[in-house]
């Protein structure tokens, strides 16, 4: 069965593929021209909007991921606006570091909301995962994507940017969301 992956973010696509290879969906990237506006006020609302919108437009099952970085000392910013916090990953990282300055509270967490929609646009499954960490003073590592180089996970003593994909895969917000979702999909014989 075909599943349209409703993302324009190549880093995210790479990771979603890693989780979904366990199932035998035929994955297809959504067309670039199909952009769904993220008007929701929560991660899960935006994941559902993207999955429903792409499913309806293509007439196929669709999966979407809405995710972002929540920084405590920035009152939760960039949060659902993580993608809109700058034009490039470098700009977004620099903005977070500049706004945090010398602030000693570096607590932050990543959130990942996943939604799967049926061809009629109705949401069949959704799940959310989080991963706790700290924002470093400067980027470390070149792996991963997005805010990975400034997100340090104390239990592993590495940033997401320094972690091998297998480790990030296990402990990340996306990993936690799929830990919930995959058994449900398998149990229901979906994919
Ligand atoms: P799509 O909506 O097309 O999927 P997007 O990049 O706009 O792509 P979001 O609206 O969900 O996606 O924004 C997510 C933001 O959070 C984006 O800036 C990512 O780089 C960042 N992000 C999400 N997961 C991340 C991760 O695992 N590591 C680093 N940054 C992440």
Give me the domain span that covers residue 23: 2-187
Confidence of residue 99 (pLDDT cuts 50, 70, 90): very high
Pocket test for ligand 1, best of 32, 33, 81, 82 (most atoms within 8 A of CB): 82
Record the pTM. Answer: 0.97
Segment 105-119, tens digit of pLDDT: 999 999 999 999 999
Pocket test for ligand 1, best of 146, 151, 171, 172 (most atoms within 8 A of CB): 146
Measured in angstroms, how far is the CA atom of residue 11 from the centroid of ligand 1? 8
- The edge-to-edge listing of strands for the beta sheet with 2-5 is 26-29, 2-5, 61-71, 107-117, 123-135, 151-153, 158-159
**Does residue 128 have its Cβ closer than 6 Å to ligand 1?**
no
Supply the residues annotated as catalytic: 66
- Pocket lining: 144 vs ligand 1, CB cutoff 6 Å: yes
User: Above pLDDT 70, what percent of the chain?
Assistant: 100
What percent of the chain has pLDDT above 90?
96
Question: What is this model's ipTM?
Answer: 0.98
> Quick check: 88 pLDDT over 80?
yes
Distance between CA atoms of residues 71 and 119, nearest Å: 36
Ligand 1 in reach of 168 Cβ (< 6 A): no
- Give the CATH number of the domain where residue 65 resides: 3.90.950.10
Give the closest residue to 26 by CA, choosing from 10, 3, 54, 60: 3
Whether 146 shows a pLDDT value over 90: the answer reads: yes
The yes-or-no verdict on residue 191 having pLDDT over 80 is no
Is 61 a pocket residue for ligand 1 (Cβ < 6 Å)?
A: no
Total domains in the fold of the chain: 1
Q: CA–CA distance from 107 to each of 69, 73, 113, 114 (Å)?
A: 11, 7, 20, 24
Q: What band does 63 get if pLDDT is binned at 50, 70 and 90?
A: very high
CA of 172 to the centre of ligand 1 (A): 13
């Amino acid at each position: 069965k075909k599943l349209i992956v409703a993302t324009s973010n190549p880093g995210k696509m790479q990771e979603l593929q890693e989780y979904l290879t366990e199932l035998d969906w035929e994955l297809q990237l959504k067309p670039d021209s199909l952009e769904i506006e993220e008007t929701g006020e929560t991660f899960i609302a935006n994941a559902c909007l993207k999955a429903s919108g792409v499913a309806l437009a293509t007439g196929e099952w669709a999966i979407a991921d809405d995710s972002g970085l929540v920084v405590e000392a920035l009152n939760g910013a960039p949060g659902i606006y993580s993608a809109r916090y700058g034009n490039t990953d470098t700009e977004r990282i620099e903005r977070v570091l500049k706004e945090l300055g010398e602030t000693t509270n570096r607590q932050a967490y990543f959130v990942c909301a996943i939604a799967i929609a049926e061809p009629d646009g109705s949401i069949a499954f959704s799940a959310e995962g989080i991963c706790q960490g700290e924002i470093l003073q400067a980027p470390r590592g070149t792996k991963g994507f997005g805010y990975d180089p400034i997100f340090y996970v104390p239990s592993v003593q590495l940033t997401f940017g320094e972690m091998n994909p297998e480790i990030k895969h296990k402990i990340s917000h996306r990993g936690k969301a799929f830990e919930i979702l995959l058994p449900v999909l398998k149990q229901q014989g979906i994919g």
